[in-house]
A and B are shown apart, each in its own frame.
Chain A
Amino acid sequence: MIKIILSQIFFVFIILIIFPSVLVRDRLFFQNNPDFQETESFTSNKNYNLNLSLPENCQLSSISFRFKNPLVANQSQIVVDILSRNQIIQSTPFSGANVGDPSWVNLKFVPKMNSSSFSLNLYTQNNDPNSLYLYVNQNGLPVYEAWCRLTPVASLNYVYKQRLSQISQINHLYLYFYLGLIVSLNYALFRLKK
């Protein structure tokens, strides 16, 4: 019986804590109105500058911007520069051909940038005002999302806190009903053993 109870605890621990903390290390830490549907023409005279502050024990791993390239016709170069202390530490150029109609463009980095604050510069070589668009929010800033990679211990801590928060906010009546079912079944198994 002890074996059965231990295996249940082990299963819950593995599936709810270990599994997500090991596999899902990249966490969304910044989101700037991802559903805002406003677009503005993206041309070479526009240079967007954005500031990012990372949480503790987390390294920048990816950034997504949302563009619209009607019929994927515009092939101009788009560049995202990441700056730390006014120094470009990574420059990521990509072609308009990688932009859909519309689509999120996700730029992944090797998460090795050991700084907690960054600036982003987003610009393009496009000169046609009617063929490449960028999604912007109500303040005219680009809509974007940023992820960072947690260290293994920070990831475990993050998932643990997330679980506690989930338990405190879940419908308790159903939680007790579910736990009651599991306890009853264990009791029935225990009685059978006897």
Chain B
Amino acid sequence: MSLKKTFLLALLLRLFIMPWFYHPDIKSQYFHFQFLSQGIGNIYQHITGNKSKLPYTDTFNYLPLTYFTFGSYYTLIKPFVPATLNSWLNDWGPNQNAYFDFPIFIFILKFPYLFFDLAIAFLLFKISSNRSVLNLWLFNPLTLYLIYVLGNFDVLPTALTLLSLYFFSKSDFNKSGFLLGLAVSLKMYPFLFLPFFLLRLFNQKKKAALYLLFFSLPILISFLPFLSSKDFIASFLGSGLTQKIIETKISNIPAFPLIYLFILFSTFKKTLAYSFSLVGLAFLSLVNLHPQWFIWFLPFFLLSFNSKTPKIFLSLIIILVLVYVSLINDQFLTWGHLIPIDIGFLSLTTPHDFIKFRFSQPPAILQQQIKTITGIFSSILLLISWRHDQNNS
């Protein structure tokens, strides 16, 4: 199949999925992003100051650049979208899911993700020169689920992180640093990758310093105007990622930071994608995460696998991840995704409740077991890929 046909088919598949699956996160995020179209610059202050008047009172827990990026998108499309979209974004009452244009709303809001998703596919192909990696990204159900069902904007920082890795592999370090900084300005997690880039420039002090400078630029520019805003600081500190990272402890010592440091220093001669995959594995196994976070590491997992990777393991991991997610006690992570098709899906019993009431077993135990098995399978896969690379070299 030609590359053009592959991309056309992938695009077609995405167009079919986009309007029919929903997660409330996209609505709560755009509820906040819409305020840019009303000329509000400091979203943090606006929410604190108007909490009693707002129909949705949760704080804005994302970074300023995220607000300006997606707020600009909403401002641009606002004159062209159905007027009911604005009503829906501000409707948090019992009839909020009963709009006839509901599938259109989520199609419009997810539309930018298409570009970042296809950009990731293109970059994966450029980096790996491997069609199976491209196909795995474009046609695996986990990718589609993470981007178009959960509908979270994490696909943008993921695309930027991958682009940063691409430029790093081309020795264009300044661009790489800038793009990684841009990704961090949108979501903090790519900060985890910075030490890996810097360690590979360990013997080139000037380049490492420049990398750090270019990395800091977008962060400083986007953070500086908000540093004096106590509402921003409160929202930034309350985001919870740092807390989650140190949650799992072994003998009272946070496990993830220890393993992270071990990966950082033990894999600095390996590819960046391989190191990031290991960080991803440790993260997925030791941090109590939200399903959308899988996308942060997925491109690197795919890059670390090769033609010798047993596809059965890969398929099993994808299935296990999807089963894990379906057991989370959240209606909107199972049947609730389908409410643009039929609101009646909300009345169905979730897998979490089914297991809890039918088998009198807490689903969290099953989830922990799935997580452990996924961790074991993923480690085996990475080991096979690594040994294959060693033999080749």
Contacts and interface: CB of A to CB of B under 8 A. Distances in A.
Interface of A: 4, 8, 11-12, 15-16, 19-20, 23-24, 26-28, 34-35, 147, 159, 162, 166, 169-171, 174-175, 178, 181-182, 185-186, 188-189, 192
A182 B12 contact: yes
The 7 closest A-B pairs by CB, nearest first: A24-B344, A20-B342, A169-B100, A174-B104, A171-B82, A185-B12, A171-B101
B334 to A, nearest CB: 12
A182 B19 CA distance: 13
A178 B344 contact: no
Contacts of A28: 344, 347
Name the residue among A4, A162, A170 with the largest chain B CB count within 10 angstroms. A170
Given A19-B341, A186-B12, A178 B94 contact: no
Q: Is the interface of B mostly helix, strand, loop or mixed?
A: helix
A26 B347 CA distance: 8
A188 to B, nearest CB: 6
B16 interface: yes
Contacts of B297: none
Contacts of B323: none
Nearest to B104: A174
B344 A20 contact: yes
Contacts of B107: 174, 178
A88 to B, nearest CB: 27
Contacts of A15: 20, 341
Contact of A20 (B16, B84, B103, B345): B345
B4 interface: yes
Contacts of B40: none
Given A20-B341, A171-B82, A174-B104, A185 B8 contact: yes
A194 B93 CA distance: 52
Contact of A170 (B4, B12, B94, B101): B101
A182 to B, nearest CB: 6
B376 interface: no
Contacts of B2: 192
Interface of B: 2, 4-5, 8-9, 11-12, 15-16, 19-20, 82, 84, 93-94, 100-101, 103-104, 107-108, 338, 341-342, 344-345, 347-348
Contact of A16 (B8, B11, B341): B341
Contacts of A23: 345, 348
Contacts of A166: 100
A15 B93 CA distance: 27
A68 to B, nearest CB: 18
Contacts of A8: 12, 16
Contacts of A186: 12
Nearest to A170: B100
B344 A26 contact: yes
A20 B15 CA distance: 20
A24 B348 contact: yes
Name the residue among B8, B103, B342 with the largest chain A CB count within 10 angstroms. B342
A24 B342 contact: yes
Contacts of B347: 24, 26, 28, 147
A174 B107 CA distance: 10
B343 to A, nearest CB: 9
Given A170-B104, A192-B2, A185 B348 contact: no
B103 to A, nearest CB: 8
Contacts of A171: 82, 84, 100-101, 104
A105 to B, nearest CB: 15
B16 A11 contact: yes
A28 B94 CA distance: 14
A55 to B, nearest CB: 15
Contact of A192 (B5, B11, B82, B338): B5
Contacts of B84: 171
A192 B8 contact: yes
A189 B94 contact: no
A189 B100 CA distance: 31
A15 B9 CA distance: 19
Nearest to B107: A178
Nearest to A155: B344
A34 B94 contact: yes
A15 B344 CA distance: 14
Contact of A178 (B11, B12, B15): B15
Nearest to B83: A171
Contacts of B82: 171, 174
A169 B98 CA distance: 12
Contacts of B348: 23-24
Contacts of A35: 93-94
Given A34-B94, A178-B19, A185 B11 contact: yes
A162 B11 CA distance: 28
A10 B2 CA distance: 25
A159 B342 contact: yes
B341 A189 contact: no
Nearest to A182: B15
